[in-house]
Amino acid sequence: MKGIFCAVALSLLAWPVFAVQPDEILADPALEARARQISQGLRCPVCRNENIDDSNAGIARDLRLLLRERLVAGDTDEAAVDYIVERYGEYVLLRPPAQGTTIVLWAAGPGLFLVGLLGAGIYLRRRRTAAPDAPLTEEERRRLAELTARD
């Protein structure tokens, strides 16, 4: 029983290894190592925050094959990534550079937090400096006594 548990646990740990199919692996170990290194930074467009090596999606397979084609064709690592980004957009990058529209995304969280702090500060300041409620008039007290009196 213990052996079965260990075998299942080890196979679950190795699950991402099964995403890259044997027919995708390049014959040149150096090129394959480069492909694996580059693909760790490329996101599967279908899966959320899963690199293309770990994904079993069809589009991830296409991206793995495209990356390997570009490397076999002689592209540098940067040229291969640029080619894929040109075709699929910056979304395929797991770590997009902080430039252009991504700066807005990077700054939105802290910016909204600061706006919330500013709004809370303004609210608390106005609340503290607001005039206290005026005491009830004699007519209001009498009316309140009528409404709360028990029969």
pLDDT in tens, 15-50: 444 567 666 676 778 888 888 899 999 998 888 788
| Environment class of 38 (CB within 10 Å of its CB; exposed 0-12, middle 13-18, buried 19+) | buried
Domain boundary, last residue among 92, 115, 136: 92
55 with 127, same domain: the answer is no
Same domain, 81 and 136: no
Whether 57 is in a domain gets the answer yes
The verdict on 18 and 70 lying in the same domain is yes
Number of helical H runs and strand E runs in the chain: 6, 0
Q: Could you tell me the CATH number of the domain that includes residue 54?
A: 1.10.8.640
Say if residue 88 is in the same domain as residue 110: no
Domain of residue 33: give its range: 2-92
| Distance between CA atoms of residues 67 and 39, nearest Å | 8
**Residue 97: inside a domain, yes or no?**
no
The per-residue pLDDT for 11 is: 53
Instruction: Please check whether residues 76 and 107 belong to one and the same domain.
Output: no
User: What tens digit of pLDDT does each residue of 70-113 get?
Assistant: 999 988 999 999 999 999 888 888 887 777 777 887 788 999 99
Q: 119 with 79, same domain?
A: no
Give the pLDDT score at 3.
63
**Which pLDDT score is estimated for 81?**
92
Do 83 and 133 have their domain in common?
no
- Domains identified in the chain, total number: 2
